[in-house]
Structure 1
């Protein structure tokens, strides 16, 4: 009997095993009921059109529309009562337009077609999975609920928040405040608020047009938000609506639970933002609509924000009585990493880096929670550096590594960026170094070999130079073609060195290359206009110690600089014993964020500017101002710098079997002691000048020190 526990049966996106090569086919599921059920409801989302048939009778049709992939749509003609006995549910599917696949999202090429659905009734649950038939074959699982390119779907069950991997939780959020209210009285409790006002009429805002399919979920949402917010701002009546502004206290991936306690319908329109200037000025603000019948409760899909402006609408003169509850949404990370220090600034930088990293653990190790709600290869490579120093469970990182590694086919660069494939290969080594998880690395043997071949086929056999490397996204700052090529050769050398180390520990890996690297004079790196060019020259070994130290001693952090380059700068300075220079870079860049009230780490930083800080941010070559994310996981790298370059703990052998311990005190800081997770248990390390023995090192059994 096909009754299932809901928590074990979140629906999956499925299709014919031939994927988009099969445009027309049937999905079939037979099930038996021991007794009749009431309250039956069938909901579906898919690419294409569907004819829904139950026991030989057509009960509903859906015409093909881009909107079909955005929500679980109810099949209105589906019978609400199902009798005991055998039943056959048949979906006749035809798809003309598939999810777009372009080089930047090539890793999703097997997800361009999909169908996800569920049948719910009294004590009954049936969801799409590989137990369905696609023609005469078992259906193929395309991806899990929440994964790209489909993302979150509207009109699903509340518990679908767990996502396809089942590990995302929604937790009550506290610590919020109401800085402003107009025409609305607010009564706040610890984890909720009651909002009361009087209706001033209804502003009709457009529903999203949803005329096209998008490469990523967040790209679609940004287009919809801009359309709605422009309509809201264009209405002269908006200023008279009962409204309030809420500060969540910190940025979160958050959903809202609204209940209408009034006997009349009400509508909520809300804007979300990461900063107050963004909330006041950005045309593309998060803008969502919640329509509530009398007594109804509705829950929004989660979005990333800190500030929230709510407008309440009802017919003129009618009472508005709303209950609002915020819930943080994310994987509940179990942390073993911690830091204790007498430096408030160092601790604050550590704390916002930890918070940034934690809240980006979602269906994947996301780049951001407002924009870029997905896995970018280089970005989660950098985010992983904090993961290793913080968490016992690296499941989210592993599935991000798998998505890009398994999904990117032969002959393609990850995310269409040559550097990203190289960073992915570096990530494999760093994952193994920190975990000793040989089984996971070997599970990627085929993928490692495939991506190494992609590099090898672009090597000049005479010079070992990596060719065909445009676009060379080494850094966001403007970079000429020569510097881009230099950066790629440095990255090639770093990657080759790490793959040789990996092969030394895991000789079973079948496709590891032993490529060389071109000979390049160090002056070519040191003449680079951009900081990252010189840093990559140092990190790769092209620039020797004497020249590298001379450059680092002379360099002062200045615009244009990004958190990305600032991290590598601090890392290099510490490795050369220039700890004060390293701290100057970290404290200036992340300290600037804290000066502006940051609770998470930014995608970009502008040290000197006129006007508001958010409007001054830029990636120089792609976008700027309020579109810039103020929560980007890769900018949480100070965690790694603190652990490896301040506390001084680094694994020398995979899985921390042997470590180096070289604490590097920062002038003016008297104590800094932290814990670092390892497969053997946490290490405690650092220094405390107020103790009889100022150097602190406690190793769990099984870890040696060299």
Structure 2
């Protein structure tokens, strides 16, 4: 795969620079062959219909269909041999239905039309890119392979797993176990599982109907899975050979299948993040593939922990399958570490690290099963763990860029006012942790544009943001007045951080001098939801005395989410209540661990009657098995541990100097961590072998401050 990747370019989605204003276009590329090339094959995916022309002769047509954006479609009549000499490949495209855009996906408004294709022959490779022509001018790159709204495409080479940025890898998984098997024998050989037996017949299955275009890839897949799972559940499955595997932990994973038998076999598979989901969820990951004798297939990656396989073969015929699992994601070098005698703290840190790591994909996804894309608040929270863990923040940067550059004038990011404010805070926190002035300055026009969006809702007479009550502050129910109050706090917090950014990066000419409304602490302390007093504290509306009194009296209880639990712990630590902070972390993330979690959940329910997954809810949007059990915004205990427990924070951008204010947790005798910085790792904490002292080891040139 590496050699292929080095010599061949990944195709890109391209179109005329006019976008959907140019619904009828001609994409073309002229190329020269020094010698004949055999075994030629041409595949494409696109919005619209296409007529494929080689050297002036039509060699194939593709009618317009929603299915055209789901897979690389092979042009069957394309010549098998390309003669030596010059050739011109033309795609005459007409598009009537473009990818839909809604305010929630407005950052994708320039990706409504596209074509992606490749021509492969022996010793030759040609892929769509910016060197193709679109009429009389060069084509424009719409987006990269794997990016939204198109997502992953079927029927491409398996090395396309690297994605459009070229940095995703597939690594064989170990530690997989078979937890149930019926009507089949199973045998391990290294990381390969052999599944064999005698066929018990087949069931009628059909490909999912692809009649419409969808806002996002995961929305399309969920629609298809529900349709296919309904058909599967309506079939008689009790006698079919079946095998269920536990990957050991949740992963974004793909699977390799090979039919070793002399007869065809159909493999139907389900994937889930929990066993209750595997048994009960109507929208369960459900896919199938028919394998001829000797044929192999590699699935597209999906987020799951449990994999269930049904083998469908004719009654009495033998089936013999090979199955392998690969983890898929951007490989990251972990530079942040933890050593502690607390098993619970170690386990919370461990699932937080794993959660954050496996969400580094084409973007810094919020989840691997659902919403596999960049949500602004989600990757703001995930970034907090990034700074404490990894030596490379490229995935975070491209997520920041996608929302910042893609969201046009006059729109809120993800159609949520709070999310634009969190994006601006993200710019500040990124700079504070990295000192990367060049990246900040590269976004100067975007920062200015999104500040103008905020200012367009500013009431100078009151100092308040107006018409922002329909925002998302937290999943828990919140009336419009409480939302309004929270938005004023977030507005003030954002303005304070932007002013700090402006002082440190004076080249930024776009930093506003916002004023803020005068609000009494009671407006926050009397809020119905936990996040309200916490945001009041973070923004400075709730003073130290009131904050300490509230935090000391608060008892962790439902409704609470990983979002509020993190902010609760952070505020408790800020006001000198480390044991209360640990109580919040240990109760919320400890609940996940008690239910067998290997990753951090999107939401949490502390007390429930039904199974834990069915009891989860976002209160205002959806619940039960649709809830993600791997959500990057819940990996924040890593940041709390580093910044509050170990007490290491930047005192200048990029950790040129550091503040060190450790807050030991009662009962934990050893807690030593390493924190990556642009200047090298910092080691900090305390160790029972070195009683009476704190550890602080700094890279050369970095000094303690304060």
- 1:406-421 equivalences under 5 Å are 406-421=405-420
Which residue of the partner structure matches residue 315 of structure 1? 314
1:471, distance to aligned residue in structure 2 (A): 2.2
Which residue of the partner structure matches residue 637 of structure 2? 638
- 1:171-570 equivalences under 5 Å are 171-236=171-236, 238-570=237-569
Equivalent residue of 1:680, what SS?
Answer: coil
- 1:6-21 equivalences under 5 Å are 7-21=7-21
Mapped contact 2:48–2:96 kept (Cα < 8 A): yes
Equivalent residue of 2:45, what SS?
Answer: strand
1:189, distance to aligned residue in structure 2 (A): 2.9
> Comparing 429-438 with 509-518, which one deviates more in the overlay?
509-518
1:188, distance to aligned residue in structure 2 (A): 1.5
Mapped contact 2:4–2:159 kept (Cα < 8 A): no
Which residue of the partner structure matches residue 624 of structure 2? 625
Going from structure 1 to structure 2, the CA distance change for 1:481 and 1:703 (only over 3 Å counts) comes to: same
Matched, 1:600 2:620: no
Query: 1:332-357 CA deviation, whole Å, 9 max, x = no partner?
Result: 01110000000000000000000000
Partners in 1 of 2:523 and 2:484 — Cα distance?
11
Mapped contact 1:4–1:124 kept (Cα < 8 A): no
Going from structure 1 to structure 2, the CA distance change for 1:368 and 1:187 (only over 3 Å counts) comes to: same
1:694, distance to aligned residue in structure 2 (A): 3.1
Matched, 1:588 2:587: yes
1:585, distance to aligned residue in structure 2 (A): 0.4
1:66, distance to aligned residue in structure 2 (A): 0.6
> Comparing 373-382 with 185-194, which one deviates more in the overlay?
185-194
Mapped contact 2:362–2:395 kept (Cα < 8 A): yes
Which residue of the partner structure matches residue 670 of structure 2? 671
Runs of 4+ in structure 1 off by over 4 angstroms are 3-8
Which residue of the partner structure matches residue 145 of structure 1? 145
Partners in 2 of 1:602 and 1:102 — Cα distance?
27
Equivalent residue of 2:238, what SS?
Answer: helix
Query: 1:386-415 CA deviation, whole Å, 9 max, x = no partner?
Result: 000000100000000000000000000000
Partners in 2 of 1:47 and 1:614 — Cα distance?
38
Equivalent residue of 2:458, what SS?
Answer: coil
Partners in 2 of 1:679 and 1:5 — Cα distance?
30
Mapped contact 1:148–1:216 kept (Cα < 8 A): yes
Which residue of the partner structure matches residue 79 of structure 1? 79
Which residue of the partner structure matches residue 111 of structure 2? 111
**TM-score w.r.t. length of structure 2:** 0.99
Query: 1:613-644 CA deviation, whole Å, 9 max, x = no partner?
Result: 00000000000000000000010000000000
1:686, distance to aligned residue in structure 2 (A): 0.5
Mapped contact 2:476–2:618 kept (Cα < 8 A): yes
C-alpha RMSD of the superposition? 1.0
Matched, 1:705 2:704: yes
Going from structure 1 to structure 2, the CA distance change for 1:7 and 1:677 (only over 3 Å counts) comes to: farther
Query: 1:638-688 CA deviation, whole Å, 9 max, x = no partner?
Result: 000000010100012100011100110000000100000000000000111
> Comparing 592-601 with 182-191, which one deviates more in the overlay?
182-191
Partners in 2 of 1:27 and 1:677 — Cα distance?
46
Equivalent residue of 2:615, what SS?
Answer: coil
Mapped contact 1:51–1:62 kept (Cα < 8 A): yes
Partners in 2 of 1:457 and 1:257 — Cα distance?
52
Mapped contact 2:266–2:288 kept (Cα < 8 A): yes
Going from structure 1 to structure 2, the CA distance change for 1:52 and 1:6 (only over 3 Å counts) comes to: farther
Partners in 1 of 2:9 and 2:381 — Cα distance?
34
Mapped contact 1:5–1:125 kept (Cα < 8 A): no
Partners in 1 of 2:35 and 2:231 — Cα distance?
51
Which residue of the partner structure matches residue 43 of structure 2? 43
Partners in 2 of 1:73 and 1:476 — Cα distance?
41
Query: 1:176-233 CA deviation, whole Å, 9 max, x = no partner?
Result: 1111000010002331100001111121212110100000000000000000011001
1:689, distance to aligned residue in structure 2 (A): 2.8
Specify every segment of 5 or more residues in structure 1 that has no aligned partner in the other structure, as ranges. Answer: none
Mapped contact 2:5–2:159 kept (Cα < 8 A): no
Query: 1:469-501 CA deviation, whole Å, 9 max, x = no partner?
Result: 142100000001111001100000000000000
Mapped contact 2:29–2:88 kept (Cα < 8 A): yes
Going from structure 1 to structure 2, the CA distance change for 1:4 and 1:352 (only over 3 Å counts) comes to: closer
Partners in 2 of 1:557 and 1:74 — Cα distance?
57
Partners in 1 of 2:301 and 2:41 — Cα distance?
24
> Comparing 185-194 with 209-218, which one deviates more in the overlay?
185-194
Partners in 1 of 2:512 and 2:266 — Cα distance?
60
Going from structure 1 to structure 2, the CA distance change for 1:264 and 1:64 (only over 3 Å counts) comes to: same
Partners in 2 of 1:468 and 1:18 — Cα distance?
34
Mapped contact 2:281–2:625 kept (Cα < 8 A): yes
Equivalent residue of 1:378, what SS?
Answer: helix
Equivalent residue of 1:111, what SS?
Answer: coil
Query: 1:391-447 CA deviation, whole Å, 9 max, x = no partner?
Result: 010000000000000000000000000000000000000000000000000000000
Partners in 1 of 2:684 and 2:535 — Cα distance?
29
Query: 1:16-43 CA deviation, whole Å, 9 max, x = no partner?
Result: 0111110001001000000001100000
Specify every segment of 5 or more residues in structure 2 that has no aligned partner in the other structure, as ranges. Answer: none
